[in-house]
Chain A
Amino acid sequence: MSPELIIALVSGAALFGVGIYGALSQTNLVMIMMGVELILAGAMVNMVAFWRYLHPDNPAGQMFVLIIMTVMAIEMAVGFGVAIARFRAKGSVEMEEATELKG
């Protein structure tokens, strides 16, 4: 197996782990979004590595990366929309204060 592929996959795994930690531990909505961005970045690194080292002849691998970038952009747009609405209504985007969302 290619060592470059393993290095890329381990980097992606580390980004995924750091992102999970950030998304779970932060109390601020914008910081939680940063954690989700890192999770998606980890997935993106894996996609590029799989495409480059296993199937470079199939451009669908690059297409998946574009889809992940789209998901990142959508997450940012919707997240900031929700953050503005929340800030306007409550004056804060601290998620610990959003107890009314609790099921």
Chain B
Amino acid sequence: MTAQMFFIGFFGLAGVWFGIVVFRTYSMVRSALALLFSQTALGAMFLSMEAEFLGVLQIMMMATEMSIMAIFMVMFMMDPGGLGTMDMTHQKRLSLITGFVSFVAAVLVAVFVDWGPVATSFPDAAQQTVDLGLELLNRSMLIFEMAGVTILTSMIAATAVAIQPVKRKQKQ
């Protein structure tokens, strides 16, 4: 077993375990923190796969995103501390079966499909960033611009939905 294989397996396992913890704890703040740890473990997994740029981006982005999510959890949940052990689930059996079947189907595809030859050479971190930058500014520029505009549109739409509607006085 190589060191890379060990670390990919370790961080993959950590990501899945914290993903399970998200739905096992009664405390919603702990749920948000578990999701933060899960996403950070995936970022570490990317770093283990030598995808430096994506790994660092994942850790930075998810740390911010999950911190915001934790604040929303405290705002919106009836029992954010989880002291009342209130069960907030439904159709548990159906969900478990569907989740398990999805997992098994995806594993079967992963194991039994012939993915072709594994790459022997791999660009270093600096070259990866250069390649991605050139990709963003050449062939994928339109997609990248579309992604930016879509984020901007969704931010404006989300703000418009969230702001309190102004009550206008009706003219007599």
Contact surface of A with B, Cβ cutoff 8 Å: 1-22, 24-31, 33-35, 37-38, 41-42, 44-45, 48-57, 59-60, 62-63, 65-67, 69-70, 72-74, 76-78, 80-85, 87-88, 92-94, 96
Contacts and interface: CB of A to CB of B under 8 A. Distances in A.
Given A17-B99, A27-B90, A70 B150 contact: yes
A interface, over-half SS: helix
Contacts of B78: 92
B77 to A, nearest CB: 7
B172 interface: no
Nearest to A80: B72
B interface, over-half SS: helix
A10 B8 CA distance: 11
Q: Chain B: interface residue count, which band?
A: 35 or more
A81 B76 contact: no
A34 B31 contact: yes
Interface of B: 2, 4-5, 8-9, 12-13, 15-16, 19-20, 22-23, 28, 31-32, 35, 38-39, 42, 45-46, 49-51, 53-54, 57-58, 61, 65, 68-69, 72-73, 75-78, 88-92, 94-96, 98-100, 102-104, 106-107, 110-111, 114-116, 118-119, 121-123, 128, 131-132, 134-136, 139-140, 143-144, 147, 150-151, 154-155, 157-162, 164
